[in-house]
Chains A and B, each alone.
Chain A
């Protein structure tokens, strides 16, 4: 079985601060994908990143960066110079790769990020 833990329920920062959202996962499978989604107050799930288990390179996209470490089963997400528009719930998710379909996403409980002026 797969499990995703986001220990931070809620984080509040002041605009322009950097913030890191933690994600720890559990799986016995060696081949899997990790994801981050953003859920703004409007409710939709916005895809941010997908990373497969064989690619441990960190990734940067504008103000967003991700740190994937298999040794600690973590896939942390950092927002640099946060903005009010970053306020949302952020979900980390895991999907193992199986044959024959399925491949469900297992989500963490989410981290509510509040960015204040």
Chain B
């Protein structure tokens, strides 16, 4: 069964450093998403991406965040200058058009120290 792949599974970074979280969505999906889950809390929407542009973003997704689909297969989330409060599990998801099913990756646990 097709799956969404996220790398790395765990990343530790120093506060103020830039991080790039990588995702490979399902190949024939057209809609891509990033979600965040702070430890012990609910899953929160960050951004959706369609037709090579952001279609919606939450208030969490400020100027420190950016997304890119650089080569038609990867979908990346960049945090320019990480803060302690960016520590969370970040989930990538993609969605097709046929049956409205979202497929989530297994997540990247980001720890900012």
Residues of B within 8 A of A44 (CB): 104, 106-107
Residue among A43, A95, A101, A105 having the largest count of chain B Cβ atoms under 10 Å: A101
**Bound Cα distance from A44 to B103, whole angstroms:** 11
Q: Is the CB of A101 within 8 A of B51?
A: yes
**Bound Cα distance from A104 to B106, whole angstroms:** 18
Q: Is the interface of A mostly helix, strand, loop or mixed?
A: loop
**Bound Cα distance from A106 to B55, whole angstroms:** 16
Q: Is the CB of B104 within 8 A of A103?
A: no
Q: Is the CB of B48 within 8 A of A102?
A: yes
Residues of B within 8 A of A43 (CB): 89, 106-107, 109
Known: A44-B104, A108-B42, A109-B41. A103 touches B31 (CB 8 A): yes
Q: Which 6 A-B pairs have the closest CB atoms?
A: A101-B50, A101-B55, A102-B56, A104-B45, A107-B43, A45-B104
Name A residues whose Cβ lies closer than 8 Å to a Cβ of B: 33, 35, 37, 43-45, 47, 50, 52, 91, 93, 95, 97, 100-110
Can you name 6 A-B residue pairings with CB atoms under 8 Å?
Answer: A50-B99, A100-B55, A101-B30, A101-B31, A101-B56, A105-B102
